[in-house]
Structure 1
Amino acid sequence: MIRKRQNICLLLMEQKKDYLFNGCVCVFHTASPVTFSVDDPKVQLIDPAVKGTLSVLKSAAKVQSLKRVVLTSSMAAVVIRSGQPEHGFVMDETWFSDPSVCEQKELWYHLSKTLAEDAAVKFAKDNGLDLVAINPGFVIGPILQPTLNLTSEAIMGLIKNGKEVFSDGIYRLVDVRDVATAHILAFENPEANGRYCMVGEVVRSLEIMKTMNKLYPSFGQSERYKDSECVEPLPYSVSRAKVESLGVNFTPMEVSIKDTVESLKKKNLLSF
């Protein structure tokens, strides 16, 4: 019965979507499943991401008033490739994840976002749509909802228990408010084009925990990190040049971490 109701709901949305877009000058397509653990990647991640994106674009293409579609993609559609350049390279918008490598490594979320962005770009080109993609990294900052989403749950796990989200301990951090600003600027700026990497800082988890210790010295979990040092340089950085030219001013990492923690505490999701 639940599945049947969901199908009816989706059908009604599909039928009404064209009318919902009437008179719109911009469509922001932000919805896509976000999970790193699935039983059926095609059903749970890939199909919803790709088919959902194309469904929105097909409706958008019918609207004469529409000036632009802003697509929320991901750095997951940027970073996964076979082989890497020399240590210290700079990633930018010319980087694209390789679907075969994503599949080989069973990085299903990365594959879903890569295929969805590829499909969107091709559809937009074939149908004369003005498409701009925003590619955020690991999003932190204050949350609006009363429950945890994947990234807020992951960052809470890191600061509470030192549980790594990524095996290499490297995080491409960006503040959620900066991501929202980038979407607005991508619509408002007529010169916006292509895709934009949204990463404020590339840091190791050690730096996150040292910042935690500085902001919250009584926090027991971060105490062991205060005198630690990481002498190994980061293997790469992400260029901010293109998105800064759009008008984005990145929130400092320390501010983002503090606002993340205060938001989690306010919603009784984190206490210490």
Structure 2
Amino acid sequence: MSTVVANAGKKAVIHRMVMPSHTCPYGLKAVDLLKRSGYEVEDHHLTTREETDAFKTEHDVKTTPQVFVDGRRIGGYDDTRRFLGKTVVDPKATTYRPVAVLFAMTALTAMAASFAVSGNPLTLRALEWFISFSMVVLALLKLQNVETFATMFLNYDLLAKRWVPYSYIYPYAEGLAGILMVAGALTWLSVPVALFIGTVGAVSVFKAVYIDRRELKCACVGGSSNVPLGFVSLTENLMMIAMAVWMGLSALGIIPAGHAM
């Protein structure tokens, strides 16, 4: 609120691409940011490629949009954020956010499904669904671009380094085990698959991070992620191991079967 008040009455000029076949998204974001920051915006549209190229040449810039305040060129969207004292996300920075968001959503989905079935969001079945839903979503993210995933996976997985096809098999195996565990079906198949890939994965991550002290990115949410390889990455494998052991013991009648509730 203080930023809006401080900038009240100030004017900004923006030149951005608005063509029949393309509207620059950063231009839209810059206009919105300036208005929310209390600026009156003079919005100039570059409606053709020729007009855009001429503008770039005139101002000796390589990109649009371009923002001007008090006759001074501020720059593009990121430059405008810096000018207004706001943070700019580094696209190369490592972050655990994708994994944290994924686990939060699968946990809420599992509780919602449990509530729909039993009227209670906090059941053993909800816990089983949380892990199995997570496995399915993680597999889905890997399978969006299995080639990129496999390339990143080969940096640290011990089995994949010895047998490259395993890097392509892994996401399918994880997805299959997760789907079967959601259904509580074919335990004789889902348990050994999850136990095997989870154990190999846990050992691989532990060796790479805690023994070899390597700083790598994790392929857990796909090959283009900036999630660092570490404890959170290890969690995916430990969850699969725990789920496999749990469902194996449930199938043997040693502990209560959540999927039977």
TM-score (norm 1): 0.25
The structure having more radius of gyration, on CA atoms, is 2
Structure with more contact order per residue of length (Cα contacts < 8 Å, sep ≥ 6)? 1
TM-score (norm 2): 0.26
Which one has the bigger strand percentage?
Answer: 1
